[in-house]
Structure 1
C-alpha cells in the first residue's frame, strides 16, 4: 500500500486572490503532491489548503508554499477574525494510508527543521509531535497571538523547537505537528432541530457538561436544520475514526432516534474520507449480517448503502475516497499491465523489474490459486457442509493475493530509488550528508519490501493446508501449484533480502534482518511440505 499523508496548512491570507492562487500553484507544481481543496475565508483572512502525497512530496509541497508566503504575506498588516500567529500559521501532517502517526511525526520534524533553516523563522511542534504538555495544543501555543509573540519569544519556556528565538515581524511563527484525520460526518433525521441536538448531546464526548459526558469519544456534535432539504442533521466531527468509527456514530444515533420515534434517512460525509473508514463500516455490517464479501469494491458499495451516503447527493468513491483520488490503492504500472508486458519487461536489458517483482508475482498467483480452490468449493451443493469453513479459509488467501500485487511494483520502485540515491552529488558536506541519508533510506526499502512479501506469504500456509485437507479434491493440482508458487515467491524474497543486506553498514542490523528472513523462509519450506503432504494423503486414499 502506498504511503499517503494529508497536509492541511493554514496561511494568513484569504482576501488577496493572487496570493491565494500563488500558494496553490506552488503545491500543484510539486511532483507527487495532489492539491485537493483551497478554502479561502475573507472575514478570517485565512486560507486552508488540503493536499496529499508521499511523505517526501508533502514536505516539498509545504515548503514550496511557505516560500511563496514568505515573499508575499506581511503579518504586520494582517487582520482577521481567526486567531493566528504567523504567515504560515499551522501546518499539520495527517496519516491517511500506509503510514503511522510516528512516521508523520518524523515528517513534521523534517519540515520544521528545513523551514526554520531556510527562512530563519521560529517553528513550534504541536499534537503528537510535541514533547511538552504545556504546548501540545494550538490554543496553548497560539495564546497571545501574533501581537504577543515578540514578548513570548523572550521567555525560555517558549523558545521554539526549531529556528531562532527572534521575532520576525513579516512572518511571526509557525506551528507544525501531527493530528489524526478528522471525518466531517452528518446524519439525516426527519425531526426538529431540537431533537437532532438532543441526540448530538447524547453522543458527543463533552455531552452536556463535566457531569454528563456523552457516549462517544473523539466525537464533536451539534444538531441543526437544513432548510434546502427540509430535514435536520446531527453534524459530527470524528477526530479519530479509529476510536469512534463512522458506523458506530451512525448506529448510536439510530438507537436514540428509535427511542424518540424519529426517522433516520441516511447520512453524508463532508469532503473526503480515507478508504479505511469505509472498510471499517463494511466489516462491521459483514459481521453483523453474516455476509461473505471479499472484493474491496463490493465492501465500499456495502458501506455506502448501509450508511445511506447517497441520500442527499451521489457518493462517488472515485472522487470522495482519498486513496482513489490520488491512485494510492492497488496495483502500479507493472501490476496493472498484461502478463505479456511483465514477462517482456523482465526479459529486457534492464535490471528492473527483476527477481523481486517476479517473486511477488509468483507468490500472488500462489495465494490466488488457494482462494480459487475455496471459491470452487464454496456454495456448491456437493460441499455445502463446508460453507462455514470456506468462509473462514478463503478471506486470508484472497487478502494475501490482493496485498501481494502492489509488491510487484514496490520492489522495482525500491531498486530504482536506491540507484537514484547513489547518483546524488557529493561535492559539498551538505550534499554528502543528503546523499548518505537518501542511500540509507533507499537501502531500508530494498530490504523492507521483500521482508513484507515474506511476512504476507507466511499468513497463507495455515489456510492453504486446511484447504488441501477439505477443499474441492478435483482442484488438487491447483493447490499443489499454489503451494509451490508461494514457496518460490518466498525464496525469491529471501534471496533479495540477503543480496541487499550487503548495503547495510551496521552489523547488528544485518544480523537482525537475516535472522528474520531465515525464520520466515524456514516456515515457508515447512508450510509448503505440509500442503503437499495433505494433498498426497487425500489422493492416495481416494
Structure 2
C-alpha cells in the first residue's frame, strides 16, 4: 500500500536545453522519485515536469528542482506567452494512491516553508492549501504576473505564506499547494468542430455563461477539429475526476451527440491517469451490463474497450496509468519471494521477518482460500442457484487477500521511524524532548501496521461465512483451513499491537487502539467458530 504523490512543477524556461535538463536531472537524481514526463514549450517559454514518489521523496525532489532553478533561471530576462510570476512558477502536489488531500496539503506546506527558508524567496499557498478564499485560485495569486509582483508584495493582504515579503528580481514568487488530479481527456466526434463545441458548451461547468451553466461540475472544455485524425473532438480538463469521472463525461457526450445525430468514435487520454479513474469506469460498465469481473487487468481492459481509449493511438496501461509506471519500484522483497525462500527467511537467524509478517501472510492466505472456494462455486452449472451469493461474497475475500499482501513487508519496516528516533541526539533537554516525541510517533506507526492487518482481515468474515454456507461442499476443508488461518493471522497481529503498546505514553491513543484491537480479535474467534459450525452442519 505504497503512498504515491504526484508533483507537477512548472518552470519559467522552455528554450534553454541546459537549464531544462539540469532541473530534470535534479529530480531524476532524487532517491524515491520517478520522473515521468518533461514537456518544454518554446512559445510559452515554460517547462512542465511530472514526477511521482512517496511524500518525503516528492518534497525532496521538488526542493532539488527549485535549487537547480535558483541557479539557472533569471526572471529579469524572461518573456513568454504563458502567465507566470516566478522561476518556479507553480508547484502542485496531487494525491494518486493511498494518500489523502489533507496529507498533500501538509506536504505543500512543508515544501513551501523549507524552500522559502533555504532560497530566501516568497511562496504562496493556493488551492486546497490556501488559508483565505481570495487567494485560493491560481489566477488570483498570479494576478499582475511577474511585472506587477513588486507592488503587490507591498500590500498587507498579499504577504507571502512563507519567505520574505519583498521582490526578489531573479526569482519572483512561487505558488504551491495541493489539488486534485487533472485529467486531460478528449472524446472523438464524427462531425464538425461547431458540433463538438456545442456539446462542450452544454457540458462544461461554465456552460455558455453565468446565466446558462453546463451540466457537469469540475469540467472545462471546448470543441475543435483535429486534421490529423480527420475528426472533431470535445476536449476537456476533468479538474476532479472524483466529481466528474471519465465515463460520466463520455456517456454525456454520447447522449448529446445522439441528439445531434452525430457519431462518437472513442476517446483519448492526454498524459497519464491514476488507476482509480480507470477502475471507476470499469465498475460503472460492470454494473450497467451486469458483469462480474474481479481481475484488475480484465477490469482495465473493459474500461479501455468501453471508452474506446485506443481509437486514436494504442492505450498501453503500463505506460498511461501512473501506478503501473512506478510498479517496478514496489518495495515488497518478502512478498515477492518464492514461498520456499520466504519460509527459509523466517527460519533464519534474524528477527525479521517475524510474527507480524507471518501473521499478515496467514491472514492473506485465509482470505485467499475463501475467495478460491467462491470462485470454484461461481459459474458452475449445478451451483447456479447461489450465483448471487457468490457474486456478493467473492469480491471482499479477493480484496482482503490482495490488500493483506503488502502488510507482509510493511511489518518488517514498521520500526524504521522508531529506530531513526533512537539515533537522534539527546545532549540537551530540547533534544531529549524531541527524541522522545519522535520515538512515540515511531511506536504509534509500528502499532498501526499490525492494526491495519487486523482491520483488513476482519473485513473478510461475513463473506467467508456465506461461502461456508453456500460454497461448493467439495471444498469444505479449504474453507475450514481458511477460517483457521484468518483467525490466527488476526490473533498474531493483535499480539504485535499489544506488545508495542507497553511503551506508549498517550493514554487516549492506548485506550482507543486497545479497545479496537480487542474487539477485532474477539470477533475473529467468534466468526471462525461460526464458519466451522456452519460447515459442520452441511
Q: TM-score, normalised by structure 1?
A: 0.95
After superposition, the C-alpha distances for 1:21-74 in whole angstroms (9 at most, x for unaligned) are: 111100000000000111112222221111000000000000011111112212
What does residue 253 of structure 2 align with? 253
The answer (yes or no) to whether the contact 1:331–1:405 under 8 Å persists in 2 is no
Shift of 1:424: 4.7
Q: Distance in 1 between matches of 2:412 and 2:175?
A: 37
Shift of 1:503: 4.4
What does residue 350 of structure 1 align with? 350
Shift of 1:443: 3.0
Q: What is the aligned length?
A: 538
Q: Distance in 2 between matches of 1:55 and 1:368?
A: 31
Q: Distance in 2 between matches of 1:323 and 1:435?
A: 35
- Residues 18-97 of structure 1 mapped to structure 2, 5 A cutoff: 18-97=18-97
What does residue 422 of structure 2 align with? 422
Q: Distance in 1 between matches of 2:430 and 2:319?
A: 41
Q: Distance in 1 between matches of 2:465 and 2:503?
A: 37
After superposition, the C-alpha distances for 1:100-146 in whole angstroms (9 at most, x for unaligned) are: 00010011111111112212222111110111011111111111222
Q: Distance in 2 between matches of 1:436 and 1:179?
A: 34
Q: 1:330 to 1:118 in 2, by over 3 A?
A: closer
What does residue 380 of structure 1 align with? 380
Task: Give the 3-state SS of the residue equivalent to 2:144 in structure 1.
Answer: coil
Q: 1:196 to 1:430 in 2, by over 3 A?
A: farther
What does residue 6 of structure 1 align with? 6
Q: 1:108 to 1:8 in 2, by over 3 A?
A: same
What does residue 283 of structure 1 align with? 283
The answer (yes or no) to whether the contact 1:187–1:233 under 8 Å persists in 2 is yes
What does residue 164 of structure 1 align with? 164
The answer (yes or no) to whether the contact 1:453–1:493 under 8 Å persists in 2 is yes
The answer (yes or no) to whether the contact 1:192–1:231 under 8 Å persists in 2 is yes
- Residues 19-418 of structure 1 mapped to structure 2, 5 A cutoff: 19-327=19-327, 332-418=332-418
Range 46-55 or range 420-429, more displaced: 420-429
What does residue 514 of structure 2 align with? 514
Q: Which runs of 5+ in 1 are unaligned?
A: none
Shift of 1:437: 6.7
Task: Give the 3-state SS of the residue equivalent to 1:106 in structure 2.
Answer: helix
The answer (yes or no) to whether the contact 2:389–2:466 under 8 Å persists in 1 is no
The answer (yes or no) to whether the contact 1:363–1:490 under 8 Å persists in 2 is yes
The answer (yes or no) to whether the contact 2:440–2:505 under 8 Å persists in 1 is no
The answer (yes or no) to whether the contact 1:2–1:329 under 8 Å persists in 2 is no
Range 269-278 or range 346-355, more displaced: 346-355
Shift of 1:290: 0.6
Q: Distance in 1 between matches of 2:74 and 2:433?
A: 34
Q: Distance in 2 between matches of 1:339 and 1:168?
A: 59
Q: 1:390 to 1:197 in 2, by over 3 A?
A: same
Task: Give the 3-state SS of the residue equivalent to 1:335 in structure 2.
Answer: coil
Q: 1:430 to 1:242 in 2, by over 3 A?
A: farther
Range 125-134 or range 431-440, more displaced: 431-440
The answer (yes or no) to whether the contact 1:93–1:104 under 8 Å persists in 2 is yes
Q: Distance in 2 between matches of 1:397 and 1:331?
A: 24
The answer (yes or no) to whether the contact 1:330–1:405 under 8 Å persists in 2 is no
Range 72-81 or range 352-361, more displaced: 72-81
The answer (yes or no) to whether the contact 1:330–1:406 under 8 Å persists in 2 is no
Range 100-109 or range 514-523, more displaced: 514-523
The answer (yes or no) to whether the contact 2:203–2:214 under 8 Å persists in 1 is yes
After superposition, the C-alpha distances for 1:200-225 in whole angstroms (9 at most, x for unaligned) are: 11111111111211111111111111
Q: Distance in 2 between matches of 1:371 and 1:355?
A: 24
Task: Give the 3-state SS of the residue equivalent to 2:414 in structure 1.
Answer: helix
Q: Distance in 2 between matches of 1:8 and 1:428?
A: 40
The answer (yes or no) to whether the contact 2:204–2:219 under 8 Å persists in 1 is yes
Q: Distance in 1 between matches of 2:116 and 2:434?
A: 17
After superposition, the C-alpha distances for 1:405-446 in whole angstroms (9 at most, x for unaligned) are: 111112122234433443355678998788667545543331
Q: Which runs of 5+ in 2 are unaligned?
A: none
Task: Give the 3-state SS of the residue equivalent to 2:37 in structure 1.
Answer: strand
Q: Distance in 2 between matches of 1:285 and 1:48?
A: 34
Shift of 1:328: 7.8
Q: 1:438 to 1:279 in 2, by over 3 A?
A: farther
Q: Distance in 2 between matches of 1:464 and 1:14?
A: 57
The answer (yes or no) to whether the contact 2:4–2:55 under 8 Å persists in 1 is yes
Range 470-479 or range 147-156, more displaced: 147-156
Q: 1:84 to 1:426 in 2, by over 3 A?
A: farther
Range 137-146 or range 163-172, more displaced: 163-172
The answer (yes or no) to whether the contact 1:369–1:482 under 8 Å persists in 2 is yes
Shift of 1:283: 0.5
Q: Distance in 2 between matches of 1:120 and 1:349?
A: 51
The answer (yes or no) to whether the contact 1:323–1:329 under 8 Å persists in 2 is no
What does residue 537 of structure 1 align with? 537
Shift of 1:457: 1.1
